[in-house]
Chains A and B, each alone.
Chain A
Amino acid sequence: MTGEGWLGPAEWQAIALSFKVALVATLCSLPVGLGVALLLARGRFWGRGLLNLLVHLPLVMPPVVTGYLLILGFGRRGPLGTMFEEVFGLVFAFRWTGAALAAAVMGFPLMVRAIRLAVEAVDPGLEEAASTLGAGRLRVFGTVTLPLILPGVLAGAVLGFAKGLGEFGATVTFVSNIPGQTRTVPLAIDTLLDMPGGEPLALKLALVSIAVAAAALALSEWLARRVRGARGGQA
């Protein structure tokens, strides 16, 4: 049983697309997620509660609502969509980039939570100690804060990536189900289930999804344990 025989080219295409979408979504949202996590963990500013709510909304809202909001904001006629097209020549509507955007938005709360927990576990006293040793804010962040939260950042990235691989509702609402463009693994499974005789293939894709998700979860748990370990070692 070779890979090509086990799954058809369309399924392999869906898997490859899923990885591309999830990877781009994770890499692009990671710096933003890091910034927002730092703001939420450390910042004392007006609107902090609102930002927290906004970040977490995609976690609890029906995904179809998130997808609809993405159409309103980033669709061809949406204000942000128009801006991105004019300034960067970047179109989201019915493109894989839109699928990546949907994946990024849906994975964002998970990513921010993981990083925020890591930031909150850092003893600010260590950063104070670094500053009395002559380190400015940037050096303190780069040499003390970042290394200490790195496992949490990686855990957040892994969670965001896993979420991106499996995102369905917001993606299908925002960018529809276009083979080779926006048909990721979950969308492909959905399509196969609607097709007569498609179920065996759907099951195989489901098994692939489960394996990848379980591996990602195990990796992020292992990273989270390293965060706790680092905290325990600071006594």
Chain B
Amino acid sequence: MTLGVRITHRLGDVTIEADFEAPAGATAIFGRSGAGKTTIIRAVSGLLRPDSGRIAIDGRTVFDSETGVFVPPHKRRIGYVFQEGRLFPHMTVQSNLTYGGQHDFDRLVDVLGLRSLLSRRPATLSGGERQRVALGRALMSRPDLLLLDEPLAALDAGRKAEILPYLERLRDEGGVPMIYVSHDISEIARLASTFVLVDKGKTRAAGPIGEVLSDPAMGGVLATRDAGAVISGKIGDHDAATGLTRFDFDGGAVLVAGGAVPVGIPARVRIAASDIILSLGKPEGISALNVIPVTITAIEPAGQSGVLVGLRAGSAMLLARITRASSEAMGLKTGARIHAIVKATAVMTGPMTDGDD
């Protein structure tokens, strides 16, 4: 499955220009509120007809302004989970679920924990329950592609934690490919293998999440707090006494805060650029584990007084944000071998890319 999008659409004073390819697996469309993310997936779903361009799902052209092809939404075989759920208020949960089909009904009802809700009305459900029903409803229509438009944005942290595992499971089972729209980089780092950055209506970058997020040139478009690489590896030891888990990757290891995830399973961590300190010499007197020997691959300006430093450790790419003044004082140059000191961070389970691509 690949999704190919190349569209332009005028919306008020913003012109949306999207150009990206999404391979199988989970693709994130990331950007600030109002950047045009929703417009792009509405165009993919057929709920919006762009001014011009072309959209193809798995080689099937669903929109082409040149040949006049426009497949209406109900024939696109797309599952769409809206931010606000959009359950039918006059139907029970059961009727909502089966509105588009009954594919895999029993298993999905169990997986999503909906069995006890089947006879209820949407108005009586909590926000998290509603989004689980919306997800189930979309999946039972057996879509070729699942679009998730900020499905967690309306939920508090607790409810988010209730839904995220379902999405991870969905991704890991290698079923339906997902396009996941969000403005929350940690959600995306947890779920997506492909990353599409949208800024002021335009797609600024698209590619494997590890590559795009560790590219120092992203400093120009990503907010300071959002810059940071996602690296993949596996879970090493878990120390119950300290509550820390060792995350091993090609190029080193870091101690991460996190629960007792099974040792040896593939995992990924996001290391925010602001959570890395650079040192010319090997620092003494601190835990050796979070000190990683690295090579500088690039130095790019970020914001008014900062720089983003691209770092390579083994095959992993990291990104550090320091002030321009420090960079000059340290005399950092591309190719220099230095040390990165990484703060403990949170671990996320799941492989970087789906096993089947």
Contacts and interface: CB of A to CB of B under 8 A. Distances in A.
Contact of A133 (B72, B84, B100, B122): B100
Contact of A132 (B78, B89, B101): B78
B322 to A, nearest CB: 45
Interface stretch (A21-29, A80-88, A202-210, A227-235): A227-235
Interface in B323-339: none
B166 interface: no
Given A233-B121, A235-B123, A134 B86 contact: no
Contacts of A234: 89, 122-123
B88 A132 contact: no
Contacts of A125: 82, 84, 86
A141 B45 CA distance: 19
Interface string B95-109: 000011100000000
A133 B138 contact: yes
Interface residues on A, range: 20 to 34
A192 interface: no
Looking at chain B's contact residues, is the secondary structure mostly helix, strand, loop, or mixed? loop
Interface residues of B, number: 27
B121 to A, nearest CB: 7
Nearest to B123: A233
A133 B137 contact: yes
A130 B99 contact: yes
A154 interface: no
Contacts of B46: 131
B73 interface: yes
A147 interface: yes
Contact of A134 (B82, B90, B122, B141): B141
Contact of B90 (A132, A133, A148): A148
Nearest to A233: B123
Interface string A179-208: 000000000000000000000000000000
A120 interface: no
Given A133-B138, A134-B100, A233-B122, A128 B90 contact: no
B101 A134 contact: yes
Contacts of A135: 74, 99-100
B292 to A, nearest CB: 45
Interface in A139-170: 143-144, 147-148
A131 B74 contact: yes
Interface string B63-75: 0000000001111
Interface of A: 123, 125-126, 128-136, 143-144, 147-148, 230, 233-235
Interface of B: 45-47, 72-80, 82, 84, 86, 88-90, 99-101, 121-123, 137-138, 141
24 contacts: A125-B82, A125-B84, A128-B73, A128-B86, A129-B86, A131-B46, A131-B72, A131-B73, A131-B74, A132-B45, A133-B74, A133-B79, A133-B99, A133-B100, A133-B138, A134-B75, A134-B100, A135-B99, A135-B100, A136-B72, A143-B99, A144-B88, A148-B89, A230-B89
